[in-house]
Structure 1
Amino acid sequence: MVAENMSDTAYDSTDITRQSTFPTDHSIAYLAREITRIYTRNLQDAIADHGILIGQYHFLRVLWEKDEITQRELANAVGMKESTTFTALAGMEKQGLLTRKRDSNDRRKMTVRLTDKGRGLRSKLIPIAKAVNDRPLAELSLKQVSDLKSMLETLRNNLSGEH
């Protein structure tokens, strides 16, 4: 619990780092991992009836925003290795969600496009994902949600070196 008079004080981990242990309740990373794990499980459970796995959903999200993208760009956008992306996309192609076509000028490049079936999932899965995302925010005010997003963006930027 944070004391009221500490609200404007910069975080100082000195008390924690002097300890010989690092309890999980002091770890933002542990809490973030737990939240991500629960969100992921809840979303996977919610979209399972549509025959989509969570990893496939992440590819679909990118493709819904930018269809006709190279496999490398898609891998980078999702944060996966190209070899993992290749395997996942092969499965999605078999499901009829997308097509892959080699670039005629550069045979190493593979362009990925959604099929009508893949595009059609957007109107079904986005509302489901939004509901999963919004559920834990229900008891927060709009300001708290805005502050939380801002703090998480700051953490992400600090971790990635994007100050």
Structure 2
Amino acid sequence: MTSTDIKDQEPEGSLLLDDQLCFALYAASRAVTARYRPLLDELGLTYPQYLVMLVLWEQDSISVRDLGAALQLESSTLSPLLKRLEAGGLLRRERRPDDERSVAIRLTETGARLRDRAATVPLAIGDAMGLTPEQDALAKQLLRLITTNVAEN
């Protein structure tokens, strides 16, 4: 009996690696993150730092709490990222005058200028993925649905 024969006989609760959606997600995530690495190295950013910068390029002043919510990160994970980006001169953290307990994150001029250099990254990643615009939209929709469904359980 070959592995193909076994696969054809696997019940719904299959334990075959190729039948696991979680492994397909894991492998895709690792491949995409690896493809980002050389592009982000040129910008002096790690992938998590790039995600922070994406949010800041979209919305220059944001609270740490809102940034964490946007990135689905805990403050214990976010704080070291922000410290490194601040040390690199890309952002600054400021206490909000209206609420001393809240910290606002703002881009520096250097951080804002980095946006122009980063503009090629999404295009290069899109090319590497090789999806049609329809496939791209469907993939995002399905991944967001999975995230929502799993987070609710």
Same fold, TM-score > 0.5, yes or no: yes
State the Cα distance separating 1:87 from its structure 2 match: 1.5
Q: How does 1:131-146 map to 2 (within 5 A)?
A: 131-137=124-130, 140-146=131-137
Is 1:148 the equivalent of 2:139? yes
Amino acid at match of 1:43: Y
Uncovered stretches (5+) of structure 2, i.e. residues with no partner: 1-9
**Corresponding residue for residue 86 of structure 2:** 93
C-alpha distance 145-116 of structure 1, shift in aligned 2 (>3 A) = same
State the Cα distance separating 1:131 from its structure 2 match: 1.0
State, as a whole percentage, how many aligned pairs show the same letter: 27
Which of the numbers 6, 11, 23 marks the counterpart of 1:15? 11
- Please, which moves more after superposition, 141-150 or 57-66? 141-150
The two structures have a TM-score, normalised by structure 1, of 0.77
CA distance in 1, matches of 2:138, 2:71: 25
Aligned residues: 144
Which of the numbers 52, 60, 84 marks the counterpart of 1:67? 60
**Corresponding residue for residue 34 of structure 1:** 27
- Please, which moves more after superposition, 81-90 or 60-69? 81-90
- Please, which moves more after superposition, 100-109 or 85-94? 100-109
Alpha carbons 1:43, 1:129 under 8 Å: kept: no
Kindly report the root-mean-square deviation, in angstroms, between the aligned alpha carbons of the 2 structures. 2.2
Amino acid at match of 2:60: D
**Corresponding residue for residue 102 of structure 1:** 95
Uncovered stretches (5+) of structure 1, i.e. residues with no partner: 1-13
Is 1:83 the equivalent of 2:76? yes
Amino acid at match of 2:101: R
State the Cα distance separating 1:60 from its structure 2 match: 0.3
**Corresponding residue for residue 6 of structure 2:** none
C-alpha distance 153-66 of structure 1, shift in aligned 2 (>3 A) = same
Q: Tell me the SS of whatever aligns to 1:109.
A: strand
